[in-house]
Every structure is written in C-alpha cells, then in structure tokens.
Amino acid sequence: MERNIAVPGDVLSDNIRASGSGTYIHEGKVCASVYGLVNKGERYISVIPLAGKYIPQASDRVIGIVTETA
C-alpha cells in the first residue's frame, strides 16, 4: 500500500465532509495541518503526523500508568 506525504497547507480534497484529524478546511477545501502520511478512508481523510505527541481520539484505546490522583 502506497501512502502520500503531506505538508501543512497541501490540498487533500474538495469534499469538506471528509475532513479528519490532522486537517482543516480553507476556502472550501480540506488541507493538511501537519507533516505526515495521508490516510484516505471511505468517508474521511486524515493526516498521521510523522513527529510529535500522540493525540487520542474518541474510542481510541490507550495504555497508561496512573501516577497521581486528586
């Protein structure tokens, strides 16, 4: 499977309903907001960052260690 690299500002789609994580809408087009791999799904387009922190999304499973409670 071949994936394309996107840089911030790259136009990814004309379908604004397809905007996913790592994208934003500018002048009616979906654009990349981060440097990373373009992930085109059936109903959305997202960009997976190649560097930086992981930003969890709804329904993601994460593993962590509780270090303090309030």
63 contacts 56 by C-beta, under 8 angstroms: no
Structural domain total, the chain: 1
Determine if the pTM surpasses 0.75.
no
Q: What is the mean pLDDT of each run of 10 residues along the chain (70 residues)?
A: 88 94 95 95 91 79 89
Q: How many CA atoms lie within 13 A of 1 on its CB side?
A: 5
CA nearest to 49, candidates 19, 22, 18:
22
CATH code of the domain covering residue 25 = 2.40.50.100
30 three-state secondary structure? strand
Domain that residue 11 falls in? 1-70
pLDDT, residue 1, reads 60
